[in-house]
Homo-oligomer: A and B are copies of this chain.
Amino acid sequence: MKIALDAMGGDKAPLVNIIGAKDALALYPKIEKIFLVGDEETLKAECAKHQFKDTRVEIIHAPDVVEMHESGAKTLRSKKKSSIAVATELVKQGEADAVVSAGNTGAAVATATLKLRTLKGVERAGIASPMPNEHGVCNLLDAGANPEATAKHLVAYAFMGAIYSKHVMGVKSPVVGLMCNGEENEKGNSLTKETFALLKELEASGKCPFTFKGNVEGHDLFETKLDVALCDGFTGNIILKSCEATAKAMSKWLKLEFKRNPFRVLGAAMSRGVFKAVKQRSSYESYGGSPLLGVNGVCIIAHGGSSALAMQNAIRVAMETVEQSVNPHIEEALAALSE
């Protein structure tokens, strides 16, 4: 197994990318090689600084860097030798099995779609972002690749998400819900109403490799047995960031309150493990990466603010996704759809 890592992508690159790669190599013997893709001089110096010497590491030079605020699509032409472009090219050429990037999401999506192309039956790729759920993990799909999705795109996401849950996450009977402004059947906007009707029809004809739960709401993300929460990329990205922001605000307010008097400071000290455990449960660090489903190859998108642990876990997700060869299963499921 060979992984191409965009070593320049992310808010804390290349530091956390390199530490994450080092830790992943120590933990996962199945990884034969990690390509560190980025500015050669920078990466050599950073590796030396952290005593990262491993025969399984190869630095691949990529002189251009895509900044986080740049338009992803525009950089396809202007920065052909960017770390994300060169890393994705390694997958295209069959030299790597997967690409991992914590850089500009728009650039990663556009590059993967252009270089790897989409799978048969897929018009647009979607990001499946794992969220902590009482019954396992709920994949929010699409979390931001495709802000102008159609009902047909959402139906393909339902199939891809269910197959991913089944084959990579080991869920026997995946459940898919449609994110909506109410759980009643008649709720929604024109996009979700059309998607709802299509999925009900497909389910009735026995074509769905999942149970369709109908419309779902915020609380279902955490409390209901739900493997895929379906939405367009605009809505999904907003949900993801709003949940993350709420958790952060809650933590901040708790910390402020705990400092108000000595009793509380002591109480907090006695309960220190509590916050660590909740952070571990709720943080994206523990999940590490979101697969870009629908491209002909494995592309894992990591959070822009990724830590070394998040990078290590993103590499693990890449490894698992390659191992379970999810793409042939997706094509098979989508072929049944068009019969």
A interface residues with partner B (beta carbon < 8 Å): 69, 71, 132, 144, 147-148, 179-182, 184, 186-190, 192, 217-219, 221-223, 232-235, 237-251, 253-254, 257-258, 260, 263-264, 266-271, 273-275, 277-278, 281-282
Contact = CB atoms under 8 A, between A and B. Distances in A.
Given A181-B147, A181-B237, A257 B245 contact: no
A264 B237 CA distance: 36
A13 B318 CA distance: 51
A130 to B, nearest CB: 15
B274 A264 contact: yes
A261 B325 CA distance: 43
Given A144-B181, A267-B268, 19 more contacts: A148-B189, A179-B238, A181-B238, A189-B234, A218-B241, A218-B245, A219-B241, A221-B245, A222-B248, A222-B249, A239-B242, A242-B243, A247-B250, A254-B274, A257-B273, A264-B271, A266-B267, A267-B271, A271-B271
Contacts of A234: 180-181, 188-189, 192, 235
A149 to B, nearest CB: 9
7 contacts: A218-B238, A218-B242, A222-B248, A239-B239, A247-B250, A257-B277, A268-B271
Of A180, A232, A239, the most chain B CB neighbours within 10 A belong to A239
A129 to B, nearest CB: 13
A272 to B, nearest CB: 8
